A and B are shown apart, each in its own frame.
Chain A
């Protein structure tokens, strides 16, 4: 696709905040300290489930250096927390529900004094039975984990459905009736920077908090409400964030409220940075999930109908699990043609830590199960797995299993064809399986769709502001945040392109609730698409004003203006510098600031009937993994991955490439090494020696192809990539292991021990 874009899509575009990071100059929240700053520490629950009988914090105040200690009593209505289900508290109220549940927070002059303060607190608990599986949680006589049952059905946190036609009669007459179950363990985010917040009391009774959270405006709203302050008295500033992947959402708001309360109580700055052990203990995980798929296929290998039953282990709190479970439900049967499809997803409370948002947001579990199932069906149909997919995938004009029509171009077919050809699939498919070899080799494929934006979760909008000052500086700001995914670069490139100025001239401010417009959450890989459009709208408004000033200066109509680089050219063909036009605009009294608002077209999903349109459009992709399995040890080595992704127009190519490869790394960890498990409600892994994430040595070489399709509603045509990038890796590896060994992995992470025994 030939276009005349200068900065958008430039393969040489560099990260706008990269320089500070490579120089070690970027100040993360843990790098900030202030005179008189206090250090905070949290008392966490030693047991998975108990009633709080006594919580006496007064001995902590007798510890030298301790200045304040808070509990749920220090917040309005005990500090309720949570969306969409408000079942949590800033600090545990009445009971503790998981091992690591925060109970009280101490602020002291030193970290050592804060630790001593924590030890001095008198805590008496009455232990309750620990519920470790959703099955036990749903039993009639199971003790209730939340204070109130949100569905009036015990520990059932939420349930989600799809009802598209009636699959049962179709399944009855299908030649192949496939029925299989899959299980996925929890996954820890393991961002390199742990969670933290620094609160500074303000003279007028308010508070400013630097927090490494995801969505500062949501943080402000939560913090103000639990502190009983008007929202404008709470200011949240987001410094550079050392990774999030969905993980610094709720917990960021919880920690912010704690340090804000402590700062107001002591009238001192208070900083709380979780240690790695605390981060792993306290923070939420990707939900463990079981998936049962029932798919009918005819003798010719056409998929006809499907049913999915899924159970998500939400752990102690709902957090984002109900919404993640909705996304799971919307992707349960995969990107294939079905005459009818039903899905039933239960979200269930247990005492296994708690689950929340993590890159992919429920989609990885759903896609992994369905992509392994599709591989199993291809095997049943005696068809090549890629050929089988090409035959059954949905294309533009087809209807998804959720009942909605695919209305925009899909790059899925091209993605599948590219990974097939680039990986030399056909040759490897035949040549690899050698039953007597010491090292068994195989290739596997998986593909996916992933709904773009929030979809039926809610209104999908964003706001960006841009202004040009009298000194010609251009600043850009959004409440949408960059925790590493590169959106600051994306927004800068879009603004530069639209304004016709060098990207280096555009300075993007940090998110600050006092100056940035409220813009919804930074989630769902929606930032480029929705925030990018808002940035474009704001830039267009400024450009219009500049054109007005230029036409006034050059005595012509705005439509007679041309641009050459940053210069404006009128009918007399003399180039006028950008800065001169800005000066003239100020002379004319024009205000060179603009707010851009944009929202995705409204769609509707009916949660009660399980019908509607879940998403405006989808991102698509496919991956092939080439693996070796050691016959002796069962160890799996991924030799190479080929990954194709359709995010439509790519704005920041090096960033998109990094998103895709980084997603594959997380997917590889999810497949082979990262199970986060609980024993009797206690986490079995406490640090990064025990919880292994992929290192450079685990990472295969990766060949990527970003396939551009047409999505006219995106900024310059862009869609999403961050979350879907990791979806295909786990099932592609599992399917490659099947090719190599003939063994079907249906429980994850894949155990080398299990493979060794079975080979």
Chain B
């Protein structure tokens, strides 16, 4: 099956078996291993990516729905030169990393929230990452990191 879609702002064409998932395409065909597999049934959120501005679990996103989609993965959100963007930087500043396995999905969920809601409350942040399991850190420093980024971005916009 031939599919054309946009991946991290690049026009992309792949030829894949019909019953595959976006997660498998990303990891096995494109070599983008930043998106993690945690359960492959949509229960943990480790594989979360952004499709047409919405967060989606790539492990249950079928290849045949991918045609024409705009997909962003963790590899696509960093600043130029592979530097962390402000949200990724904020995770480091808040010590919101332990094992790191949930982080790519968490960061994608955070980006979708911030794109839709520039001033989210803490309950709204928790709601936005509720599908993303983390077993290490107890979520609070992750919420802190997203909250601080929202404030910074809001300030940046105010100044501009």
Interface residues, chain A, with chain B CB atoms under 8 Å away = 12, 14-15, 17-28, 30-31, 189-194, 240-245, 275-276, 483-486, 652-655, 657-658, 661-666, 687-689, 693-697, 699, 701-702
The answer to whether A696 and B92 touch across the interface, beta carbons within 8 angstroms, is no
The answer to whether B98 and A695 touch across the interface, beta carbons within 8 angstroms, is no
Task: Write out the residue numbers on chain A whose beta carbons fall within 8 Å of the beta carbon of B137.
Answer: 658, 661-662, 665
Consensus secondary structure, chain B interface = loop
- Contact string against A for B residues 35-71, beta-carbon threshold 8 Å, 1 for contact and 0 otherwise: 1111111011010000000000000000000000000
B134 within 8 A of A: yes
From A275, A652, A657, contact of B40 by CB (8 A): A275
Q: How far is the CB of A645 from chain B (nearest CB, A)?
A: 14
Known: A28-B101, A663-B138, A695-B133. 14 other contacts (CB 8 A): A15-B97, A240-B99, A242-B99, A243-B99, A275-B40, A276-B44, A483-B99, A484-B99, A658-B95, A661-B139, A662-B136, A665-B135, A688-B39, A696-B130
A–B pairs, 27, beta carbons within 8 Å: A17-B97, A18-B97, A22-B89, A22-B92, A24-B34, A24-B73, A27-B33, A31-B27, A192-B101, A276-B40, A484-B100, A486-B98, A652-B95, A658-B95, A658-B136, A658-B138, A661-B139, A662-B98, A662-B137, A663-B138, A666-B135, A688-B133, A696-B126, A696-B130, A697-B127, A699-B140, A702-B138
3 shortest interchain CB distances as A-B pairs = A24-B34, A654-B95, A484-B99
Q: How far is the CB of B120 from chain A (nearest CB, A)?
A: 12
The answer to whether A664 and B127 touch across the interface, beta carbons within 8 angstroms, is no
Q: How far is the CB of A692 from chain B (nearest CB, A)?
A: 9
From B74, B97, B125, B139, contact of A665 by CB (8 A): B139
The answer to whether A658 and B84 touch across the interface, beta carbons within 8 angstroms, is no
> Which single residue of chain B is at the shortest CB-CB distance from A247?
B135
Task: Write out the residue numbers on chain B whose beta carbons fall within 8 Å of the beta carbon of A654.
Answer: 94-95, 141
Interface residues, chain B, with chain A CB atoms under 8 Å away = 27, 33-41, 43-44, 46, 73-75, 78, 82, 84, 88-89, 91-104, 107, 125-127, 129-143
| Docked complex Cα distance between A696 and B41 (Å) | 20
The answer to whether A242 and B44 touch across the interface, beta carbons within 8 angstroms, is no
From A21, A24, A26, contact of B35 by CB (8 A): A24
The answer to whether B98 and A243 touch across the interface, beta carbons within 8 angstroms, is yes
Q: How far is the CB of A370 from chain B (nearest CB, A)?
A: 24
> Which single residue of chain A is at the shortest CB-CB distance from B141?
A658
| Docked complex Cα distance between A18 and B139 (Å) | 16
Q: How far is the CB of A180 from chain B (nearest CB, A)?
A: 30
The answer to whether A24 and B138 touch across the interface, beta carbons within 8 angstroms, is no
The answer to whether B100 and A687 touch across the interface, beta carbons within 8 angstroms, is no
Task: Write out the residue numbers on chain A whose beta carbons fall within 8 Å of the beta carbon of B39.
Answer: 276, 687-688
Given the interface contacts A15-B92, A484-B136, A695-B130, does A687 sit within 8 Å of B34 by beta carbon? no
| Docked complex Cα distance between A663 and B46 (Å) | 20
The answer to whether A192 and B41 touch across the interface, beta carbons within 8 angstroms, is no
The answer to whether A24 and B140 touch across the interface, beta carbons within 8 angstroms, is no
| Docked complex Cα distance between A688 and B103 (Å) | 18
Given the interface contacts A14-B93, A192-B44, does A22 sit within 8 Å of B99 by beta carbon? no
Task: Write out the residue numbers on chain B whose beta carbons fall within 8 Å of the beta carbon of A655.
Answer: 95, 98
The answer to whether A688 and B136 touch across the interface, beta carbons within 8 angstroms, is no
From A12, A18, A25, A243, contact of B34 by CB (8 A): A25
From B40, B74, B127, B143, contact of A23 by CB (8 A): B74
Task: Write out the residue numbers on chain B whose beta carbons fall within 8 Å of the beta carbon of A241.
Answer: 99
The answer to whether A193 and B36 touch across the interface, beta carbons within 8 angstroms, is yes
The answer to whether A17 and B100 touch across the interface, beta carbons within 8 angstroms, is yes
Given the interface contacts A18-B100, A193-B101, A658-B96, does A696 sit within 8 Å of B139 by beta carbon? yes
Task: Write out the residue numbers on chain B whose beta carbons fall within 8 Å of the beta carbon of A20.
Answer: 100
Q: How far is the CB of B83 from chain A (nearest CB, A)?
A: 9
Task: Write out the residue numbers on chain A whose beta carbons fall within 8 Å of the beta carbon of B94.
Answer: 654
Task: Find the residue from B38, B43, B91 having the highest chain A CB count within 10 A.
Answer: B38
Q: How far is the CB of A214 from chain B (nearest CB, A)?
A: 12
Q: How far is the CB of A212 from chain B (nearest CB, A)?
A: 10
Task: Write out the residue numbers on chain B whose beta carbons fall within 8 Å of the beta carbon of A23.
Answer: 34, 74-75, 78, 82, 84, 88
Task: Write out the residue numbers on chain A whose beta carbons fall within 8 Å of the beta carbon of B102.
Answer: 192
Q: How far is the CB of A664 from chain B (nearest CB, A)?
A: 6
> Which single residue of chain A is at the shortest CB-CB distance from B42?
A689
Given the interface contacts A18-B92, A22-B84, A22-B107, does A687 sit within 8 Å of B43 by beta carbon? yes
Task: Write out the residue numbers on chain B whose beta carbons fall within 8 Å of the beta carbon of A666.
Answer: 135
Task: Write out the residue numbers on chain A whose beta carbons fall within 8 Å of the beta carbon of B93.
Answer: 12, 14
| Docked complex Cα distance between A113 and B122 (Å) | 47
> Which single residue of chain B is at the shortest CB-CB distance from A27?
B33
Given the interface contacts A24-B104, A31-B33, does A192 sit within 8 Å of B134 by beta carbon? yes
The answer to whether A19 and B139 touch across the interface, beta carbons within 8 angstroms, is no
| Docked complex Cα distance between A701 and B141 (Å) | 11
Given the interface contacts A23-B82, A661-B138, does A192 sit within 8 Å of B99 by beta carbon? yes
Task: Write out the residue numbers on chain A whose beta carbons fall within 8 Å of the beta carbon of B95.
Answer: 14-15, 652-655, 657-658
Task: Write out the residue numbers on chain A whose beta carbons fall within 8 Å of the beta carbon of B40.
Answer: 275-276
From A193, A483, A664, A689, contact of B38 by CB (8 A): A193
Q: How far is the CB of A653 from chain B (nearest CB, A)?
A: 8
Given the interface contacts A24-B34, A666-B135, A687-B43, does A696 sit within 8 Å of B129 by beta carbon? yes
Q: How far is the CB of A275 from chain B (nearest CB, A)?
A: 7
| Docked complex Cα distance between A22 and B91 (Å) | 7
Given the interface contacts A243-B101, A693-B133, does A701 sit within 8 Å of B92 by beta carbon? no
| Docked complex Cα distance between A508 and B154 (Å) | 37
From B127, B135, B138, B141, contact of A190 by CB (8 A): B135
Given the interface contacts A191-B135, A243-B98, A243-B101, does A18 sit within 8 Å of B141 by beta carbon? no
The answer to whether A664 and B97 touch across the interface, beta carbons within 8 angstroms, is no
Task: Write out the residue numbers on chain B whose beta carbons fall within 8 Å of the beta carbon of A699.
Answer: 126, 138-140
Task: Write out the residue numbers on chain A whose beta carbons fall within 8 Å of the beta carbon of B127.
Answer: 696-697
Task: Write out the residue numbers on chain B whose beta carbons fall within 8 Å of the beta carbon of A30.
Answer: 33, 36-37
